[in-house]
Structure 1
Amino acid sequence: MQTAPAGGAGIDRTEIRAAIARHLDITPDAVAGADDLIQLGLDSIRTMKLAGAWRKRGIAVNFALLAAHPTVDAWYALLNGADPENLSLDGALPGVVDSAALPNLVDLPDGVRPGPVDSAAGHAAPTDDTAASEPAIVPDDGTPFALAPMQHAYWIGRSDAQELGGVAAHLYVEFDGADVYPERLEQAVGQLLSRHPMLRTRFLPDGTQQTLDRPGRAVFGVTDLREVPAVEAQRRLEELRGARTHQRMAVEDGQVIDIALTRLADGRTRLHLDVDMLAADAMSYRILITDLARLYHGEQLPPQDYTFRQYLAEHRHDSTATQQPDTVAGAGQGASAIADERTRDRAWWQDRLSELPGAPELPLAQHISEPNRTIRLHRWLSPQAKAQVFDAAHARGITPAMALASVFAETIGGWSAQRRFLLNLPLFHREPVHPQVDGVVGDFTSSVLLEVDVTEPATVADRARALQQRLHEAGAHSAYSGLEVLRDLGRHRGEPVLAPIVYTSALNLGELFPDTVTATFGDPVWIISQGPQVLLDAQITEVRGGLLLNWDIRESAFPAGVVDAMFARYIEAIERLGGQPSEFAEAGSSESGGAQPRETEQVSPVVPADAAGRARFTGGAGWQAEAGVRIPVEQAATRARVNATGGPVSGGLLHTGFFANAATNPSAPAVLWEPTGQLTYGELAADALAVAGALREAGVTPGDSVAVQLPKGPDQIVAVLGVLAAGAVYVPIGFDQPAARRAEILGTAGALAVLTVGGARIPDVRAIDLAEARTHREPLARPLFGDPENIAYVLFTSGSTGKPKGVEVSHRAAMNTIDDLNERFALGPADRALGLSALEFDLSVYDIFGLLAVGGAVVTVDEAQRTDPAVWVELVRRHQISMLNCVPSLLDMLLTAAPSTESQPLASLRAVILGGDWVDVALPARLAAVAPNSRFAGLGGATETAIHSTICEVVDARVPVEWTAVPYGTPLRNVQCRVVGPAGNDCPDWVSGELWIGGDGVATGYRGDPERTADRFVTHEGLRWYRTGDLARYLPDGGLEFLGRADHQVKIRGYRVELGEVESALRAVPGVRHAVAAVVGTAAPKLVALVVPTPGTAIDVDTVLAATAELVPVYMVPTRLELLAELPLTSNAKPDRKAIRAVLDKGEGTDEFVAPRTDLERALAAVIAEVLVTEQIGVTDDFFALGGDSVLATTAVARIREWLDAPDTIVADLFTARTVEGLAARMSQREAESGDTGRLAAVAALYLEVAAMTDDEILAQS
């Protein structure tokens, strides 16, 4: 692309240097051709002003190119037509794309800039560079006019029907002063409203605004507390504050400003000022408060005839949200060029829609107690500390705005489940179209979306440079605003898209509260802002020469402690940039209202002075440190405590305890089965040694692998003990395993033999009949005991490639788990365990060896009994079973089968431990009802970490209300756990990451797969870890919460969805017993789920979906539910996802077009179809899934109100109903409540009749 002067116009170096020098208040001689202008102090406001002036001379200026090449030499070339692709980079920092500090971080495209405002007067300070041609002033005739895009977003968002809605966008400030006189202030308020039409503008239900002669509500009041005792006066002040900090003013009546004066004892006053941002952006706030102060003092202000309405009319191409008629004439001369630029920028964003990430996924509270309450966290950065940060940034070619923005992005990324996300950055757009534009009050705000990626490691400086470069790219295409991009994203994804994390920088725009204001009304002592559909709004504002760093937060949306930890990290990181933590005043919270802090003593660092004599600070070791969030000290201490699990290390092997018990107590029962089967320790030992002898004869030597493929029952236990006694490794294979998979397992395991039933034929491997092996004539004289680090067993689990993977587990790893659980639950010879788990499932390892190690007995079942819970109940009674170790679904089956007519039918149970799947929070109470003396624990882990790794014991069946499943808990003995982010960092509390498990329980690796072993088993800080692939997060008490498999993450309409979270939300709905979610379809994937109701409970699909929508975002609510009486299970008693998927797939393709059935539905469908530019829509089609957005919703409702004579219909109705069917029902219900039934149907019929007529027919009847 070539940037050439229009009409041959050019500019020389002398002019360029002179213009720059004028803005930097230095002499032209101080600006050399190769000097870096950023380091000289040039920021984006000044750069944009220069660009604006040059554009008016007919010189085409690309702002991003000026920012990318900040030298006089480069600018001279660009302004005189040089091709940017061939431009020499002399004068620019090598390899760095530089930008200037922006009001809201973003380098804007040509023609976009905030207006310069004199800090004392609050009015434009016109210069030669900002002169503009002056369009004619057109009086306001009082007709409604369109909303600007940000106004429209605020107007839509303040509705209770909106996600994160229900609040106004407003800024509330209290000034603590003295001797402010009510009469003079009231007069000044009246003059202020007369001067600024937007302060008396009302917002109409059809999405337009209208200027009034005066507001329809009172906007000024006085409270006299001069004679009230101090304590009572303070209480009344807090009461007044409480009424205003979270109010939604009656903007429909023209109340957009609320000014109140409280008179206090000793001449003190408190001014309360609340402004709705529908009428005034941040710059306008400063204008109006400055004007108010000057009017209070009786000053004659210069005329302000140019209005926000006229500005919008002249910029309809990008400044109005809805296509409403407007009578104001006089479009700006550059409209065509700007429209072209907007078209280009729209195309640029459209090309990127499918690649754009979503909003940061911060930890959110499951239950929000006060959804609309906002608090403020704040910190004041002193002038000296501010200068140090700015100097250090400039020295690295980074603008201060971007340095601070990068710290914010890194902080958000540290608490986000996804490290690639979008931030919403407001901009202040005031085109220099009129000399009075910088004195106008209105909402000129636009926005740009900044893509942040903090996935890969980088230094702080490099991260800031990279973010700066992305910001240039996005800012160069900001003629198409971030709001419009979000709407396009919503249409692309079929769902409204929010950007609830906002970062606003007002650097270099001057003091928010000029001296004129503070001298008149006092210092601001309380500041808070709110915004609809915003969770966190961060701001940087210049106050008293320093910086005020604010976070306005919807506190209850986050788990306790999260935002405090985030803000503390944010401040700490900024401190490291400046290298002077002592320069920061104390942080505060909403209790101090963001007030200006007291002065702190300043100590100047000893650094060289710059040419102007000011000390320049270039240090701050934090710049070269690795970017990323370090978990807070207190969280690190908690994790160190829960991971301090060191304890005795068993030197024994899996079979050591059993053979010891067989020697000392051979007559004790070891294995029991129905109806009267029993093997004593002595008998079992003899059988095992006989099998070992048979294996030795077959050529098996210590370390060899022997497969075991036998039906469930005592034979399995004999076989594995025999293999271990021979010093070999046992490899269990399911008895019903297909031959092909069995062959694959045998090949990978390198098995020399298979212990199986008589007559089995297994190709390529010697099959040994267990019955014959048990009677082998030459049993081993004694069992072999090798090194505990030797492999004990290889368990094959399903692999992501479709091939089974063999997990090698050592004796030491397995015994670490067994020893902990045996000691923890004080198991001994009197205990009996019910062994329900399949041999090829790792829970069977504890079923067998846990009890045999302490002299207890294992009660086993056969293949048929494995799925018959009535048999299990009888076994518990008959054998007085005391220990149960199983997956949750088996306990659920057992409890369901327990007779409800008996008291405590499972009373012998004293320890129940569950693992292998989600543990339902209802199970502890259900168990307590039938086994009141039993302990209950949920355990977490993986086959690769020796059965179990963590434990969470539920005491007295007390389950916290916020639990949706029993958490993983804390590590077992000699086990450590980490939750790790993509860059290998530890995640803070509540933040999801990959669960790493380390310590003595970690498996050796994968049999025959060194590549997979190296990938999943890693060493960090001297400890060996297994990367589980599970998602988990730490809770504040040091416990772990399992969130699901990382490979169960799916993308739905551009959103990352964890199926486990969807399932957890469904299970939290009363009456839902089990839930499994899946994604079906390829062209348009849909989230669906299968639900199993609690026995005896009838559940309604719509009710379940509605309840789920209260727990998770709308995109995580399944579009369809299938109900089943029982959950399909695998052989290991886990949910059979393949079978479930088959059920869900069968239900696809059943969506049908549902035609309108009534005149009202037909009329609504016709109106909405026309707005969406589509042929037809069904009454159950989702408006947003069809491409609707907030602007189209506003347009549709405006037409419905007018064409169907339905003035009570509001935009919130369409957002809530989402379908023609739902909207018709809401309108009909409202009509029925009014008692005027039948009118809607009649009007709809008339509309349809007219709509069907030809133009000639209409003309004939007119």
Structure 2
Amino acid sequence: MTQLSPAQHGIWLTERMLDTGGAYQLSLTVDLTGPLDTEALDLACRTVAAHHPALSSTPGPDASVRPCEVPDPRHVDCAPGELDAALAEERAAPFDTETGPLCRFTLFRAGPEHHVLLVSAHHLVLDGQSKDRLVADLAAAYRGDPLPPAPEIRPQTAGPEALVAARAYWEERGYTPCPPVLPGFVPPPDGGMVAAPGAEVPFRLDGGRRAALAEAALKLGVTRFELLLAAWHALLLRYGNPAPTTAVELSLRPPGTPVGIGLAVNELPLRIEATGPGRPLRLPFEDWVRTVRDELRALYPHRSVPLGQVVRGLSPRTALAPLSLSYRRRPAAAPPDFGAVTVKTRWIGFSGTVRNLLHLQLVDDDDGIHGSVQFRTAPPFGQAAEEGDPDADGTGCLTTDAVHRIVDHWTRLLDGALADPTTLLGDLPLLDGDELRDQLAAPAPRPELAARTVPALLAARAQETPDAIAVVADGEQVTYAELAHRVAHSAAGLRRYGAGPGTLVGIGLPRGLDQLVAVLGTLAAGAAHLPLDPAYPAERLAFVREDAGLALRITHTPEGAGDLTPADLAPRAGAPVPSLPLPEPSQPAYVLYTSGSTGLPKGVEVPHSALANVLGSLAERLGSSPQDRWLALTSLSFDIAAVELLLPLTTGGRVVLVPEGVHRDGPALLELIRHEGVTHVQATPSGWRLLLEAGLDRTGPVVTALVGGEALPAPLAARLTAATGRLVRQLRV
């Protein structure tokens, strides 16, 4: 009794364990124009199905292969305007792998002399390379010609030596597929390697591009497939993927042998990591394509060994990487001859289901390269989100517009590489004119935002909602009215000591309410504040104080003239609330000193207008509201601290201050977040890892996660996506 091949067994087992939808369904369409003999075509379909044992087989419950009967073609009358929808519905119709059959023929009649034959089959009995043989045999049987012998596809079982070699290969290179970085895409929590509903964007590289591809491949000493794959991986590198990984389909048929119908491919992941000195984007494309070629050819000797046989612990999945690519170069042959009937074949058929996030399918034909990008548009089968579920936000899905952009980027990059393979990867063209203008254009001016100041906005919020909670500090709740009262007295006190427009006040306080009141009081006094984080080295603090020419400093440990404590600025018993003029937008709000990594630290002055502009723009982008609760986590010495301290106070929200010493304690931070119902957290990737390791997940209150300051690896982005309601990447604040 014949058994399933290792590749077939993997598919069969996956379908028994997962809901795969139509992930393993293939199809092709033969468009027939002219006086078609439908009875002859029916006979041809029956003849071909009987001639190739794979088409009339199905797996048994013990993984054996048993025969089954393929029904006669089904005839469907269809109006021309309904043809595409009817074809899509038929392509998506499922197969029953337990009973079979796994192949069917459907003949659509769209007009007296216009028919379309749809051949659908399960991947267990058909692969891309089989399609040419299938259509050629259909044409021969239609003409009444005898069919060439059908070569048997024998299961290829890797021997002990092949398994040892493959295991060593994967142990050296590793198998760690990461969620990809793609335009407009947030990685999914599931990793993107299970079946889901999808859509398709077809495209074509014309004959001119095909000829240029062939010429460049010859000069570079690579195949067309290797060149196309190198361009794809170059695009992924440009998108920010440091070591692009794509699963590729590799044929198991010996070169030059007759092609039989059946499954004779194995999918394996290919990871490309640039080697040598310098950044990968400074590598010439001609060197990159040879790197891809060498990695691909190192993989070829292991093509017959399924990954699951040599890499332990693989969970059931329909793909081995979130991205995949298949390439088939059709053999040079005359068009299929159906007598007086004109034939046009579409070799790519999409079932409506994707096996991963995105699959790039390429068929290299005489008239060009036909392509199809098939991509996820909804959650995986069995994980459909219910109404109100936070996962129902499109996370992990791609849009048609985004995929069109990816195709345009790839073809533009490919054109640049073909025109001059010596071009550096980072210099290859990518964006079209409109995208380039959008990237280079300055933001539209928003004078109404820059005309405001934080003290004015805070005063407005205190007047609108005086009893609302503005700040939580060590369990103490401070209303907007109470905060405005403290800030007014702090500002008046600073004025008594000489602070005002044109002066600089050092804030040498740890995290806490005193620090926040000192910052707001300095702004309200018309002065600019200069952070002096007590945790910084004494040498740096002394340099900054001297370089800035500080006359006033607020600290818990006064050392001499000009040093004030929070108590010096606190409201006095019975004293009326002072009234001070608001600062002008053009006046400085604060000064930050650079790290000094390229020399001595330098002070950078930020005016009120710029601060208000940033806070107002970000508040609009985030849809900020009085219900927001922000965690104040960042040291005042970093620019982004202004966002978490001041943005919520300008929009009626709440600031939850992190006590000094807790900012590096993951479990304590998480407890504070949960206890106070924090909805917005801003941190570096390192800070987010701290929270994730402490147990942050989607059961918590965090609705928006803002991340910046460091590179954001795709795996971390995927974890954050799964653990929070929204991920916002900040490039600059």
Q: TM-score range by the shorter chain?
A: 0.5 to 0.7
Which amino acid in the other structure matches residue 606 of structure 2?
A: R
How far residue 378 of structure 1 moved from its aligned partner, in angstroms, is: 3.0
The structure 2 residue matched to 1:199, chosen from 47, 55, 58, is: 55
**CA contact 2:75–2:108 (8 Å) conserved in 1:** yes
d(CA) in 2 for partners of 1:772 and 1:703?
Answer: 17
DSSP 3-state at the match of 1:630? coil
Q: Distance in 1 between matches of 2:408 and 2:539?
A: 54
- The equivalent of 1:1060 in structure 2 is 720
Taking the aligned partners of 1:506 and 1:823, their CA distance within structure 2 comes to: 49
Q: Distance in 2 between matches of 1:250 and 1:764?
A: 86
Residues 405, 847 of structure 1: alpha-carbon distance in 2 compared, 3 angstrom cutoff: closer
Provide closer, same or farther for how the CA distance between residues 731 and 353 of structure 1 changes in structure 2, counting only shifts above 3 A.
closer
Partner-residue secondary structure (3-state), 1:468: helix
The Cα of 1:967 is off from its aligned counterpart by: 8.8
Report whether the alignment pairs 1:691 with 2:497.
yes
Q: Give CA-to-partner distance per residue, 1:490-516, whole Å, 9 cap, x none.
A: 5279999732422222236335x8433
Residues 1:440 and 2:260 aligned together: yes
Q: Deviations over 1:1214-1257 (max 9, x none)?
A: xxxxxxxxxxxxxxxxxxxxxxxxxxxxxxxxxxxxxxxxxxxx
How far, CA to CA, are the matches of 2:298 and 2:647 in structure 1? 66
Partner of 2:79, secondary structure, is helix
Match of 1:348 among 161, 166, 169: 169
Which residue of structure 2 aligns with residue 185 of structure 1?
41
Q: Is the 8 A contact 1:169 1:532 kept in 2?
A: no
2:337 counterpart residue number: 516
Q: 2: distance between equivalents of 1:381 and 1:404?
A: 11
What is the Cα-based RMSD across aligned positions, in Å? 5.8
Is 1:289–2:289 an aligned residue pair?
no
Alignment of 1:234 onto 2:80: yes
- Measure, in 1, the Cα distance between the counterparts of 2:630 and 2:354: 56
Write the deviation string for residues 307-365 of structure 1: whole angstroms up to 9, x where unpaired: 22xx22xx4336xxxxxxxxxxxxxxxxxxxx5355323322222226x5536354258
**Distance of 2:86 and 2:206 partners within structure 1:** 31
From 267, 271, 293, the equivalent of 1:471 is 293
Aligned pair partner of 2:444 in 622, 632, 644 = 644
Aligned to 2:145: 299
The equivalent position to 1:161 in structure 2, one of 14, 18, 22, is 18
**What CA distance in whole angstroms lies between the structure 2 residues aligned with 1:835 and 1:577?**
47
Match of 2:242 among 393, 411, 419: 419
The structure whose Rg is larger is 1
Residue 887 of structure 1 corresponds to which residue in structure 2? Answer: 655
Alignment pair present for 1:550 and 2:372: yes
Q: Tell me, in whole angstroms, the C-alpha distance in 1 between the residues paired with 2:168 and 2:705.
A: 47
CA deviation string 1:466-509 (max 9, x = no partner)? 24334334433433338733664452799997324222222363
CA distance in 1, matches of 2:179, 2:196: 20
Q: How does 1:607-646 map to 2 (within 5 A)?
A: 619=419, 626=426, 630-636=430-436, 643-645=443-445
Whether the 8 Å contact between 1:175 and 1:526 is mirrored in structure 2 is no
Aligned residues of 2:360 and 2:374 also touching (Cα < 8 A):
yes
Please tell me the residue identity of whatever aligns with 1:200.
Answer: S
Match of 1:221, as an amino acid? Answer: R
Counterpart selection for 1:243 from 74, 78, 89? 89
Residue 294 of structure 1, CA deviation: 1.0
Matched, 1:151 2:8: yes
1:222 aligns with 2:222: no
Shift of 1:816: 1.9
Q: Structure 1 CA distance, aligned partners of 2:633 and 2:148? A: 88
Contact 2:136 2:336 in 1 (8 A): no
Assess if the C-alpha contact under 8 Å between 1:837 and 1:843 holds in 2.
Answer: no
Length-normalised TM-score, structure 1: 0.41
Once the two structures are superposed, what CA deviation does each residue of 1:627-663 show, in whole Å capped at 9, x if it has no partner?
Answer: 56734554555566782236499899999999xxxxx
State whether structure 2 residue 611 is matched by structure 1 residue 817: yes
Matched letter for residue 152 of structure 1: H
Q: Which has the higher contact order (CA 8 A, sep 6+)?
A: 2
Residue deviations 1:393-419 (CA, integer Å, cap 9, x gap): 32344433322222222334445x633
Give the conservation status (yes or no) of the 8 Å contact 2:285–2:421: no
Amino acid at match of 2:180: P
Alpha-carbon distance change, 402 to 286 in structure 1, aligned in 2, over 3 angstroms: same
CA contact (8 A) 1:655 1:721 kept: no
Give secondary structure in 2 for the equivalent of 1:249. Answer: coil
- Give the 3 Å change call, closer, same or farther, for CA 849–1059 of structure 1 in structure 2: closer
Match of residue 324 from structure 2: 502
2:401 corresponds to 1:561: yes
Name the counterpart of 1:279. Answer: 125
Asked if structure 1 preserves the Cα contact closer than 8 Å seen for 2:11 and 2:124, the reply is yes
1:266 shift after superposition? 3.4
- Bigger Cα displacement from structure 2, 178-187 vs 742-751: 742-751
1:431 to 254, 278, 296: 254
Q: Measure how far apart 1:201 and its partner are.
A: 0.9
User: For 2:357 and 2:640, how far apart are their aligned partners in 1?
Assistant: 44
Q: Is 1:570–2:427 an aligned residue pair?
A: no
Distance 1:517 1:568, change over 3 A: farther
SS in 2 for 1:146: coil
- Give the secondary structure class of the aligned counterpart of 1:346: helix
Instruction: Describe the shift of the 1:519–1:964 C-alpha distance in structure 2 as closer, same or farther (beyond 3 A).
Output: farther
Residue pairs, 1:949-1098, within 5 angstroms? 965=703, 1028-1029=709-710, 1046=712, 1056=716, 1058-1065=718-725
Question: Do 1:706 and 1:731's aligned partners in 2 also have CA atoms closer than 8 Å?
Answer: yes
The answer to whether the 8 A contact 1:710-1:756 is kept is: no
Q: Compute the displacement of 1:259 (Å).
A: 1.5
Structure 1 residues 146 and 814: CA distance shift in structure 2, 3 A: farther
Partners of 2:57 and 2:65 within 8 A in 1: yes
- 8 Å CA contact 1:425–1:450 kept in 2: the answer is yes
Change in Cα spacing, 1:563 to 1:819, as seen in structure 2 (3 Å) is closer
Could you say which residue in structure 2 is the equivalent of 1:533? 355
Q: Percent identity?
A: 14
Shift of 1:563: 1.0
Q: How does 1:1202-1213 map to 2 (within 5 A)?
A: none
Equivalent-residue separation in structure 1 for 2:162 and 2:246 (angstroms): 23
**Cα pair 1:731 1:794 within 8 Å, conserved:** yes
Judged with a 3 Å threshold, the aligned counterparts in structure 2 of structure 1 residues 622 and 468 are, in CA distance, closer, same or farther, namely closer
CA distance in 2, matches of 1:187, 1:686: 98
2:234 to 394, 405, 410: 410
The answer to whether the Cα contact below 8 Å between 2:41 and 2:142 also exists between their aligned partners in 1 is yes
Quote the offset at 1:762 in angstroms. 5.9
Where does residue 158 of structure 2 map in the other structure?
317
Contact 1:723 1:730 in 2 (8 A): no
Aligned pair in 2 of structure 1 residues 357, 307: CA closer, same or farther (>3 Å)? closer
Cα deviation digits, residues 970-1027 of structure 1 (max 9, x gap): xxxxxxxxxxxxxxxxxxxxxxxx86xxxxxxxxxxxxxxxxxxxxxxxxxxxxxxxx
Counterpart secondary structure, 2:24: coil
**Structure 2: 5+ residue stretches without partners:** 379-396, 459-477, 572-579, 620-628, 659-671, 685-700, 728-733
Unaligned 5+ runs, structure 1: 1-142, 226-231, 319-338, 579-618, 659-670, 696-700, 776-781, 826-833, 852-857, 859-881, 891-916, 925-937, 943-962, 969-993, 996-1027, 1032-1045, 1069-1262
The separation in 1 between residues aligned to 2:253 and 2:441, in whole angstroms, is 56
- Write the distance in 1 (CA, Å) between the matches of 2:557 and 2:702: 48
Contact 1:425–1:447 (Cα < 8 Å) also in 2: yes
